[in-house]
Amino acid sequence: MTEAREWPDWWQWELELTPHLLKRMADRQFNEIELRQMLEAPRGWRPNEEPGRYVIATTFDQREWEVVVEPLADSRLCW
């Protein structure tokens, strides 16, 4: 896991919520505000198994979580 001080440029890009993400949020019982709070206090990041995606380590509700993001360079968005 890479420490929080070594973030790539895409970390500052806007987050876009996809239908897949909205379903996962409902399944795991958290909302957009809580997701954004999780991403405001990340503990680190690492590449995901799937190329082009990254795992963000964070916490929510006193538990450790991993949030997968996919930066899209053309639009400068993260999914």
Mean pLDDT of each 10-residue bin along the chain, 79 residues long: 75 92 93 94 94 94 93 91
What's the DSSP call for residue 64? E
At CB < 8 A and 24+ separation, what contacts does 40-43 make? Answer: 42/4, 43/1, 43/4
Contact present, 55 and 49 (Cβ < 8 Å): no
User: Given this model, what pLDDT does residue 5 score?
Assistant: 63
pTM for the structure as a whole? 0.85
Return the pLDDT at 79. 87
The pLDDT of residue 69: 94
Q: In Å, what is the CA distance from 45 to each residue of 6, 25, 27, 37?
A: 9, 20, 23, 16
Tokens of 16: 């876009």
Please report the pLDDT score of residue 6 as a whole number: 81
- Looking at residue 1, its pLDDT comes to 67
